[in-house]
Amino acid sequence: MHSNRYTIGVIELTVEDGAVLVPIKVVPGASRTRIIGEWDGRLKVAVAAPPEKGKANKALVALLATTLGISRRDIEVVAGHTNPLKTIRIVRTEADTVRAAIGSERS
């Protein structure tokens, strides 16, 4: 298993087996879905969807797919399915692409 780490501000991305792992803090039930910054070393994302039946996870994946310009199939929640602290695995993209997209979207 090959792993590299990259930092966006204080958000640490990990590249593992060709995929980019992103630590995320999700705030469900927000007024709108958007990337809102950094929280405790994680990307902080607000989603308008409620935290029930995977709706918030689906909204998170949709936002990231749109932000990165990739398919939703290339993004997977790999840890924290029922927790606001999640790890997202993104395939078919580079850490630099994720870093640039996240950096330009943070408000």
pLDDT at 74 (0 to 100)? 98
Supply the pLDDT for residue 10: 77
d(CA 2, CA 104): 28
Encoded amino acid at 43, one letter: L
Q: In which domain, by residue range, is 36 found?
A: 3-105
pLDDT given at position 103: 79
How buried is residue 107: exposed, middle or buried, by Cβ count under 10 Å (0-12/13-18/19+)? exposed
Six token digits for residue 51:
């935290």
d(CA 2, CA 71): 24
For position 43, which CATH number holds? Answer: 3.30.1200.10
Q: Write the pLDDT tens digit of every residue in 41-100.
A: 899 999 999 999 999 999 999 999 999 999 999 999 999 999 999 999 999 999 999 988
Q: How many domains does the chain have?
A: 1
At residue 6, the pLDDT reads 52
Q: Give the pLDDT of residue 102.
A: 84
